[in-house]
Amino acid sequence: MFAGVNLLIAVGAIIMILGFLGCCGAAKESRCMLMLFFVALLLILIVQIIGGVLGAVNKSKVESAFELALSSMVESLQSTTGEHKEYQEEFQKFERKYKCCGLKDGPQDWGENFKPSSNICQCEPEEQLSDLCTKYQSKYIYKKSCGEVIVQQIKDNLVIIMGIAFGLAVIEV
């Protein structure tokens, strides 16, 4: 998490320096400063294009990294120490909202935390006979895994993300 924050700070600092370089170059009518500004913006555009191409080409690596992240989150769901209690409670809210259970393997992802007395993954009474639910350990739970829901959300919003990225690239050119 902190690596992402540091990256955003670094990118913000670089953009601020570039903006200052462009403003000073325009105010002083310095060809050198304006040329540096242009070259820096061109490099940023090239890096964005390369990032997009690498993301498309290495799609399988991105998916495997996502699977690895899901596996580590499953370990947090299975924790019985109380260390991940807040995460588990928030994840239960996510399950109820999106009508899903577990991240990869349904109720097995909860490990020992999944007890017949708990309301983890439990379907609402009016949904129990629908195709959203299945009977497991004498109670009705949601069939679909939340990993599927997350992947579907990403796929549904990928067009918007790509549109924004290409729109920014067009503006930069």
89-99 per-position pLDDT tens digit: 888 889 889 98
- Checking if the pLDDT of 168 tops 80, the result is no
Give the pLDDT band (50/70/90) at residue 35. very high
54 contacts: CB under 8 Å, gap ≥ 6: none
pLDDT of residue 87: 87
Any idea which residue has 């299975």 for tokens?
78
136 forms beta bridges with 139
Average pLDDT, the chain: 82
Task: Give the pTM.
Answer: 0.60
User: CB–CB of 145/110 below 8 Å?
Assistant: no
What value does the mean pLDDT take over residues 76-105? Answer: 87
User: CB–CB of 83/49 below 8 Å?
Assistant: no
